[in-house]
C-alpha cells in the first residue's frame, strides 16, 4: 500500500469507507499504531483520528520509514450528543519533561 510520511492513507481511507457502508455509518474512527498523530476528514460524514506510538526514533522507523516522531498519544473530549469536541496531542517525551 503506498504510504506518505509512513502512513498508508489510501489503504486506510478505502477500508474506512467500506466499513462505513457495511456498518451503516459512524461519526468517528480511531486507529493506530503509526509513528505520528494524524486527523483526516475522510468524508463530510466522518473523521479518522490516528494515534501515535509511545516509541520514538526507533531503528525500524528510521531505517524503514525514514522518519522520527515525538512519542505521544491523542486525548479527546467526547460529548454524548456532539461527539469529539476537542483533542490534544499529549507528548510523553522525557526530553520535554519540565523539572519541578
Measured over all CA atoms, what is the biggest interatomic distance in the chain, rounded to whole angstroms?
A: 51
Residue 5 binned pLDDT confidence (cut-offs 50, 70, 90)? low
Mean pLDDT of the region 52-75: 76
Residue 71 binned pLDDT confidence (cut-offs 50, 70, 90)? confident
Measured between alpha carbons, how far is 52 from 36 in angstroms, rounded to an integer?
5
Domain residue spans of the chain: 9-96
Measured between alpha carbons, how far is 81 from 93 in angstroms, rounded to an integer?
34
- pLDDT one-digit tens code per residue, 11-31: 888 999 999 999 999 999 998
Residue 9 binned pLDDT confidence (cut-offs 50, 70, 90)? confident
The pLDDT of residue 6 is 64
Amino acid at each position: 500500500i503506498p504510504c506518505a510520511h509512513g502512513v498508508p492513507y489510501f489503504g486506510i481511507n478505502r477500508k474506512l469507507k467500506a466499513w462505513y457502508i457495511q456498518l451503516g455509518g459512524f461519526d468517528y474512527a480511531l486507529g493506530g499504531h503509526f509513528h505520528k498523530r494524524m486527523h483526516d476528514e475522510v468524508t463530510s460524514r466522518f473523521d479518522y483520528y490516528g494515534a501515535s506510538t509511545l516509541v520514538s526514533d526507533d531503528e525500524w522507523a528510521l531505517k524503514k520509514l525514514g522518519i522520527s516522531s515525538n512519542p505521544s498519544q491523542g486525548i479527546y473530549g467526547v460529548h454524548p450528543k456532539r461527539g469529539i469536541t476537542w483533542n490534544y496531542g499529549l507528548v510523553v517525551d522525557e526530553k520535554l519533561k519540565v523539572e519541578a
